[in-house]
Structure 1
Amino acid sequence: MDDEKYYIVKKKALPEVLLKVVEAKRLLDSERVMTIQEATDAVDISRSSFYKYKDDIFPFHENNRGKTITFMLQMDDIPGLLSMVLNQIAKSNANVLTIHQTIPIGGIASLTLGIEILPQTLELSQMLESIEALDGIHYLKILGRE
């Protein structure tokens, strides 16, 4: 089916309306606007143009910046402990992609993090050791790498 082919096209080759649709979708996703009408007004396109193209254009995100690591840890339910974990990641120059924390049961919460390891990220083992060394961290396990 020719309608289902995909192309990578430079931004300068795209019609302005398609770029505005992408921007309207970004505004909606970021919740800077609450309705499609507000989004289309903000980027100066018609709602019909938005609906016509919204499912056909997406930004292209390269995934060559770095490797991704997913790990989980069990930690005490102590105010500020999650912040300290995130601070260790930031000090290592890694990028947090996802965070999921369970509701603490018996004073213990599970935390799963997806981290992007960038070229400027310090040694991974040092980052993980610094997290494990925090008071209140019980267990850290690497779940996967890409």
Structure 2
Amino acid sequence: MNAKPQFLLVNPKVLPDVFEKVIEAKRLLASGKVKTSSEASKSAGISRSVFYKYKDHVFPYEDQAGNRIITLGLRLSDEPGVLSSVLTELYRNGANLLTVNQNIPNDGIANVTVSVIIGDSVAGVEEMIEALSTIHGVIESKTI
């Protein structure tokens, strides 16, 4: 017995424009440009009933083909500014920060995991790790 697919990837050119307007309304709400679904619906040019009918069933597709997500494992000395220096260096290397998780320091060492998106603009993961290892207070840096 074949199960029907739950999701389809469809070019919006063949769909009624109401679906794109629902996505626009959702973006307006998420960005904080509007405060209520009523304002979002009005700004996007749809009725509230249309927004509520489709809001949980229409999602934008973001092409991430050129992006890679990597997670770095770091051991940092418990000194002011070390984590900030690491994040600044990641930014300089073109990484887009997704998550940071720092454990409570133990014996003067804090274990930190950082997830970033790196695109084509980044020279390479190895070069990024090498740049991080030159920062004062970085004891170890590696991909996990």
- Specify the TM-score bucket, using the shorter chain as the normaliser: 0.7 to 0.9
Partner secondary structure for residue 68 of structure 1: strand
Partner of 1:52: 53
State the one-letter code of the partner of 1:26. R
Identity of aligned residues (%): 36
> How far apart are 1:21 and its partner, in Å?
0.7
Check conservation: 2:96, 2:117, Cα contact below 8 A.
Answer: yes
Check conservation: 2:94, 2:122, Cα contact below 8 A.
Answer: yes
Check conservation: 1:101, 1:109, Cα contact below 8 A.
Answer: no
> How far apart are 1:75 and its partner, in Å?
2.5
Q: TM-score, normalised by structure 1?
A: 0.77
The superposition leaves residues 82-121 of structure 1 with CA deviations (integer Å, 9 ceiling, x where unpaired) of 332223223323333x122336446654432222232231
> How far apart are 1:46 and its partner, in Å?
1.5
Pairs within 5 Å for 1:59-138: 59-96=60-97, 98-102=98-102, 104-105=104-105, 108-138=109-139
**Cα distance change, pair 85–46 in 1 and its aligned pair in 2 (3 A):** same
> How far apart are 1:138 and its partner, in Å?
2.7
CA distance in 2, matches of 1:103, 1:114: 15
In structure 2, runs of 5+ residues without a counterpart are none
Check conservation: 2:129, 2:142, Cα contact below 8 A.
Answer: no
Q: TM-score, normalised by structure 2?
A: 0.78
CA distance in 2, matches of 1:77, 1:32: 39
CA distance in 2, matches of 1:32, 1:108: 41
**Cα distance change, pair 75–35 in 1 and its aligned pair in 2 (3 A):** farther
Count of residues paired in the alignment: 141
Partner secondary structure for residue 134 of structure 1: coil
Partner of 2:140: 139
Partner of 2:36: 35
CA distance in 1, matches of 2:32, 2:110: 29
**Cα distance change, pair 78–40 in 1 and its aligned pair in 2 (3 A):** farther
